[in-house]
A and B are shown apart, each in its own frame.
Chain A
């Protein structure tokens, strides 16, 4: 059975304080590792796809990386507007989602 686990469940940062979110996965025949952002009351918004170990993708203050067992979402010098829940998901036969990390960035 495919499994995706995210940690921590919640993370509080001061504005400008860089950190990383972790996504551990066990997905048979991984066909992609996906990161999403979800704001309260809205649907998940697609951020990145990573296909192979060693791959990196960047968008503004976010950088996603992938190893054979984990993916990390690095947030550099976060701003309050980066506050959201970040979801990762692994695609085997279907997409399996982790439980998410709720990020709160205080000014």
Chain B
């Protein structure tokens, strides 16, 4: 039981490049989330998916898109990366009792 897995662990992009962050969970959870964590800002919700086939914006969705590929997988796409998107990105999943289980994170630097 791997829990929540994320790939890649580290990534460096140049301004304007695109990339997709991958997330998968094996706990049969309905809900999945993408957060970013920045010093002094805490964890902020980018997008979430309450169930397979649905996605909704969170607090900071600008510059991002998501796809809930199936119940296990939820990807985050940066279409044209900007230095302001330098951050640590966490994926999480939750059962109906709301506690969230987090992946190990992706450390993204945009130069």
Contact = CB atoms under 8 A, between A and B. Distances in A.
Nearest to A43: B102
Interface residues of B, number: 20
Contacts of A46: 99-102
Given A99-B40, A99-B42, A43 B90 contact: yes
Interface string B79-111: 000000000001010000111111111000000
> How big is chain A's contact interface, by range?
20 to 34
A95 interface: yes
B48 interface: yes
Interface of B: 4, 33, 40, 42-45, 48, 58, 90, 92, 97-105
Nearest to A99: B42
B97 A95 contact: no
A98 B43 CA distance: 8
A91 B43 CA distance: 14
B45 A98 contact: no
A87 B48 contact: no
B102 A45 contact: yes
A34 B99 contact: yes
A5 to B, nearest CB: 10
13 contacts: A32-B97, A32-B98, A32-B99, A36-B102, A43-B4, A43-B90, A43-B102, A43-B104, A46-B101, A46-B102, A49-B98, A91-B98, A94-B48
